[in-house]
Amino acid sequence: MSSSDSTTSLKPDTKLAHSGRNPRGFHGFVNPPVVHASTVLYPDVETMVTGGQTYSYARRGNPTTDSLEEALKEMEGAAGAKIANSGLNAVALAILSCVKAGDRILIADTAYGPTRHFADTVLPRTGVAVEYYDPSLGSNIKTLFRDETTAVFTEAPGSLSFEMQDIPAIAAAAHEIGATVLMDNTWASPLYCQPIALGVDLSIQAGTKYIVGHSDAMLGTIAASDRAWEGLHELCGAMGAHVAPDDIFLGLRGLRTLSVRLERHQRNTLEVIDWLKDQDQVAGIRYPALESDPGHEIWKRDFSGASGLFAFDFADGTSKEQNFRFLNALTLFGLGYSWGGFESLAIPVRLKGMRTATPFDEGLQSVRLHIGLEDPEDLIRDLAQAFESAFA
Ligand SMILES: *Cc1c(COP(=O)(O)O)cnc(C)c1O
């Protein structure tokens, strides 16, 4: 018996520490072995032809993959979970698992850019139509439903612009027509938002971000509700989805400390924002945990915490050159896209080509920050000197 069979009723932090582990199955060692494998041997031909043993072929899983998938299943309250080789791969596999030729998928206009790229370039070739929708539509999403609508993709808060979505309202509307609901929940991680409990069928994580948490591996995860699990399991098998055991090991290792890291990311972020909001050069902050944020009520209702990623808008009249000077002047914040590690990062927000259903201000100068595990006083000093040098 796996130790995790008995952990379903435990609190999230306890699940993080115990789920997916089975020390007695591995001579008492705390962690499962990192199984490097392709071939699986059978004791006799009868076992072979009847499929009479747990593992048959390494692509289909081994004790290392089982451990992470089991832990994710428990964390997400899911019927089952699969691992993909990147967050984007998880998005692609999740979508492909629930659509077929002739179907139409609705995708939030604020979805992650490469998700749009997948939807715009691959889905049309499979005969699936794509329509982007205003993320602020709650149950009114039903005004966009047609007979062919079979899936609704959500992401909250939205990539780069951080709008919240009323996931339970969207899920309830979608289920009325039997559509599958997907959510990219990377920002909150399964610790601060539980998509399946909100009505989501396919809960997606860029595990690369907070689960791995150390900027040293790429991983995607998909957890499925009862109605979506069989389709997901089938599709991942048919596609030959497989992740190398060393990367899964890094995901498992990251998962064990997710709670302490996220708590610190959140605390540091609030401290940095508390300083940032009073700066003359800053017009607004996009972070749903702030009471002033338009998505705050939904965040408070559906999420139990906030992570280290947010954006701020420069004051009116700030030029692109000033924005770039600010970014170039930062010394502790690295200029890099893939967030979720222990280090602070910054990028310029560029929405051009990434919004088609909702208007955005093309002239607005914004920066997205990821607040890492450094001392926030040092981060604030770095931001202060970058403002000085950009606006001198
Ligand atoms: C980074 C990210 C992804 C993609 O993850 P990768 O592992 O980099 O492919 C997907 N969704 C969101 C919201 C992300 O931030």
Q: Are 182 and 297 members of one domain?
A: no
Q: What is the DSSP letter of 193?
A: -
Question: 370: helix, coil or strand?
Answer: strand
Question: What are the beta bridge partners of residue 367?
Answer: 312, 348
**Distance of alpha carbon 212 from alpha carbon 223, whole angstroms:** 17
Q: Are 314 and 225 members of one domain?
A: no
User: Residue 368 sits in which domain range?
Assistant: 258-391
Q: In what order do the strands lie in the sheet with 80-84?
A: 80-84, 220-224, 202-206, 180-184, 149-155, 104-108, 129-133
Average confidence score pLDDT of the chain: 96
Q: Which two tokens stand for residue 106?
A: 């609705």
Does 1 map to a domain?
no
pLDDT at 261 over 60: yes
For the chain, report the end-to-end CA distance as a whole number of angstroms.
65
Does 153 map to a domain?
yes
Instruction: Please state the domain count of the chain.
Output: 2
pLDDT at 136 over 60: yes
How high is the pLDDT of residue 3? 46
Distance 209 CA to ligand 1 centre (A): 7
Among 233, 256, 279, the domain boundary falls at 256
**Distance of alpha carbon 55 from alpha carbon 58, whole angstroms:** 7
Task: Give residue 353's Cα distance to chain centre.
Answer: 22
Does 346 map to a domain?
yes
- At which residue do the structure tokens 């749903």 appear? 288
Q: Are 243 and 298 members of one domain?
A: no
pLDDT in tens, 99-123: 999 999 999 999 999 999 999 999 9
Whether omega for the bond prior to residue 157 falls within 30 degrees of 0, making it cis, is yes
Confidence of residue 353 (pLDDT cuts 50, 70, 90): confident
pLDDT at 1 over 70: no
Q: pLDDT above 90 covers what percent of the chain?
A: 95
Q: Which two tokens stand for residue 57?
A: 């072929």
Distance 95 CA to ligand 1 centre (A): 15
Q: How would you classify residue 40: left for phi > 0, otherwise alpha for psi between -120 and 50, otherwise beta? A: beta
Q: Are 251 and 262 members of one domain?
A: no
Q: Are 334 and 232 members of one domain?
A: no
Please give the model's pTM, rounded to 2 decimal places.
Answer: 0.97
Does 6 map to a domain?
no
Ligand 1 site residues, Cβ closer than 6 angstroms: 86-88, 91, 112, 155, 159, 184, 186, 206, 208-209, 218, 220, 338
pLDDT in tens, 2-50: 444 556 689 999 999 999 999 999 999 999 999 999 999 999 999 999 9
Q: Are 271 and 385 members of one domain?
A: yes
How high is the pLDDT of residue 6? 57
- Across 325-331, average pLDDT: 98
The active-site residue, picked from 184, 201, 247, 302, is 184
Distance 205 CA to ligand 1 centre (A): 7
In this structure, which amino acid lies at residue 93?
Answer: L
- Contacts for 65 with CB less than 8 Å, ≥ 6 apart: 83, 243, 245, 248
Q: Are 273 and 133 members of one domain?
A: no
Q: Are 204 and 67 members of one domain?
A: yes
**Distance of alpha carbon 11 from alpha carbon 2, whole angstroms:** 18
Among 203, 222, 256, the domain boundary falls at 256
pLDDT in tens, 74-99: 999 999 999 999 999 999 999 999 99
How high is the pLDDT of residue 384? 98
Does 5 map to a domain?
no
Instruction: Pick the closest to residue 83 from 276, 218, 267, 179 (CA basis).
Output: 218
Q: Are 361 and 220 members of one domain?
A: no
Q: For the chain, where are the alpha helices, taking DSSP H only?
A: 12-18, 45-50, 63-76, 87-96, 113-121, 167-176, 189-192, 226-239, 245-256, 258-276, 296-302, 320-329, 376-391
Does 371 map to a domain?
yes
pLDDT at 372 over 60: yes
Among 232, 256, 280, the domain boundary falls at 256
Per-state percent for the chain, helix, strand, coil, to nearest 5? 40, 15, 45
What CATH number is associated with residue 320? 3.90.1150.10
235 within 8 A of 180, measured Cβ to Cβ: no
Confidence of residue 349 (pLDDT cuts 50, 70, 90): very high
- By DSSP bridging, strand 309-314 and strand 345-348 are unpaired
Q: For residue 334, give the H/E element and its range.
A: strand 334-335
**Distance of alpha carbon 378 from alpha carbon 384, whole angstroms:** 10
The active-site residue, picked from 21, 103, 104, 112, is 112
Task: Give residue 357's Cα distance to chain centre.
Answer: 22
Give the ligand 1 atom nearest the CA of 208: 7
Q: Are 34 and 83 members of one domain?
A: yes
What CATH number is associated with residue 34? 3.40.640.10
Does 268 map to a domain?
yes
Q: Are 32 and 107 members of one domain?
A: yes
- By DSSP bridging, strand 366-370 and strand 345-348 are antiparallel
Distance 16 CA to ligand 1 centre (A): 22
- Torsion (CA) 131, 132, 134, 135 in degrees, nearest 10: 110
Give the ligand 1 atom nearest the CA of 186: 13
209 is catalytic: yes
Does 235 map to a domain?
yes
Q: Whose CA is nearest to atom 8 of ligand 1?
A: 87
Q: Are 238 and 130 members of one domain?
A: yes
How many other CB atoms are there within 10 angstroms of residue 206's CB atom?
28
Largest CA distance in the chain: 79
In this structure, which amino acid lies at residue 227?
Answer: R
350 within 8 A of 326, measured Cβ to Cβ: no
